[in-house]
Structure 1
């Protein structure tokens, strides 16, 4: 299986980086092909500019012109998500949402003509990612799980798993949310990492 990891955390000593290493170890053990997009190291430009919105507007009526307006980096990422059997997002939750680079990746790549298209009437989306079997989100935060669920409404689940990937027709969607990380013991963190390694070695 070809697994695309989309990673976003600027600090090399972060727990997200430990998660990335555990996921990669597991995928290696399972003999999966790994493609890593490190948004921070790539200096990804997340802001939607006028030409990006022009590309969005043209995607249905003039797809060739729409593609010509996209940045080279976005076109490179496009080819990589099209080859993926599974996409894994790894990022921290800051102020209840994803960091700017992850949001920009969603805005620029989960895009008409790239990740999805519309039916002839323009009333329904469908996925263009024919190889894609599933998407997994792995997130970290310092908020307790119950507070994130009850006070903030599981914002990541609603925005990404439902509002993005369910909407475009990706059937297999999973969210692994590691909470209260700053206050968690090293022993429990190690167990989390071991579980992730085991899970991704067996991913199908």
Structure 2
């Protein structure tokens, strides 16, 4: 079994340690998820977008390639091959302004490309129905995100991408209200978190 993890945090995956001004709870979650998967005998392939210096901007040339079903560049082609070979794909990112950061959005725009990973004619994925997991962190309380904001991430990713292209096996793990949680609560979340 092969799992590809797409990790998006400016501090990179190295921010899992408790170093002031360079720590990330999301990176600590990544460390937990990775070790759990490896213990189960799963092959883990990490795409660390910031460490890879991925450019999320869609240029005119990128769009021209995208429309022709050609990878934007060699990095994007590599990402596409890795995802196509995956049994499971995990997206990990913080929620900023109620949606995914630009790096994740650009990754989706450039990598999940028509006539490469899905067919444009019938909007059907070319992937072999991998299990999709989305792991997010946010400071907004869960009830406020769902009721007041209307879960925009769920609409964008699950309805606008996954269901639209018939990726039907997905689950969202959201750690909400993170800034109101104590160190002890965060540690409990880390210790009990599983996918």
Give TM-score scaled by structure 1 length: 0.87
Are 1:91 and 1:99, in contact at CA under 8 Å, matched by a contact in 2?
yes
Q: 1:66-145 to 2 correspondence within 5 Å? A: 66-67=70-71, 70-118=72-120, 122=121, 124-130=122-128, 132-145=129-142
| Structure 2, unaligned runs of 5 or more | 16-22
SS at match of 2:29: helix
Are 2:90 and 2:134, in contact at CA under 8 Å, matched by a contact in 1?
yes
Higher relative contact order (CA 8 A, sep 6+): 1
Residue 168 of structure 1 and its aligned partner are, at CA, apart by 0.8
Residue 56 of structure 1 and its aligned partner are, at CA, apart by 2.6
SS at match of 1:168: coil
| Structure 1, unaligned runs of 5 or more | 60-65
More displaced stretch, 182-191 vs 102-111: 182-191
Residue 194 of structure 1 and its aligned partner are, at CA, apart by 2.1
Residue 43 of structure 1 and its aligned partner are, at CA, apart by 0.4
Residue 157 of structure 1 and its aligned partner are, at CA, apart by 0.8
SS at match of 1:20: helix
- Say whether residues 1:2 and 2:2 are aligned partners: yes
Q: Deviations over 1:38-91 (max 9, x none)?
A: 0000000000011221123223xxxxxx34xx2111011011101110000110
2:146 aligned partner = 149
- Say whether residues 1:172 and 2:182 are aligned partners: no
Task: Give the length in aligned residue pairs.
Answer: 185
Q: Give me the CA root mean square deviation.
A: 1.2
